[in-house]
Amino acid sequence: MSLLVKICGLSTRETLQTALDAGADMVGFVFFPPSPRHVSLETGRDLGRQVKKRALKVALTVDADDATLDNIMDALSPDIFQLHGQESVARLRDIKQKFGRPVMKAVPVAAAADLAVLPGYAAIADRILFDARAPKDATRPGGLGEPFDWHLLENLDLKLPYMVSGGLHADNVVEALRVTGAGGVDVSSGVESAPGVKDPEMIKAFIRAARATQELSVR
């Protein structure tokens, strides 16, 4: 199965175009005001049109209510919802039924005990995203640029597709994939020159590095 590369937190036409041209499989748009990567519904609509089915559109939300998800559906028509908050298993089921879209549940990881929630989420989610657990005083759950201990995912018995994020960049993505055996990687702050400011050259370098691991495994 081919590796999925997701560039998250895109907010301008230029950087979105870079991600598409460089071959990103998924492009993520953040609908969460505390984040420096937050986009308005209007911007989301504009960027969504630009994608033109060249990649999967991912809407990242954090404990969003139905009205918010409704507005995102209308503006972006995402291919998948990335749920990055404290959403329960029941809430995942509810969102899938109401909005008819696959859901990817972000699971914050700092210790082995954090993986105890997997059986519940795996029964409903279409994909799991392992991310570094944010510090207690953080104002947002992701995009903080710190990796977690990837060895916690070694020998993971998960029938569901999963991706890894948190502190990834062009120089460590190969190692992250080697250790975790993940089928995909998700990067945001690791391709930025400042919080929320994507760097086109860093986007290209990250995708190149991730794809190189695929070529090595094929050989």
What are the catalytic residues? 8, 131
Exposed/middle/buried for residue 97 (C-beta within 10 Å: 0-12, 13-18, 19+): exposed
| 3-class state of residue 200 by DSSP | helix
In this structure, are residues 4 and 163 in contact, taking their beta carbons and an 8 Å threshold? yes
Q: Where are the alpha helices (DSSP H) in the chain?
A: 13-21, 41-51, 66-76, 89-99, 118-122, 173-180, 200-218
Structural tokens at position 102 = 């696959």
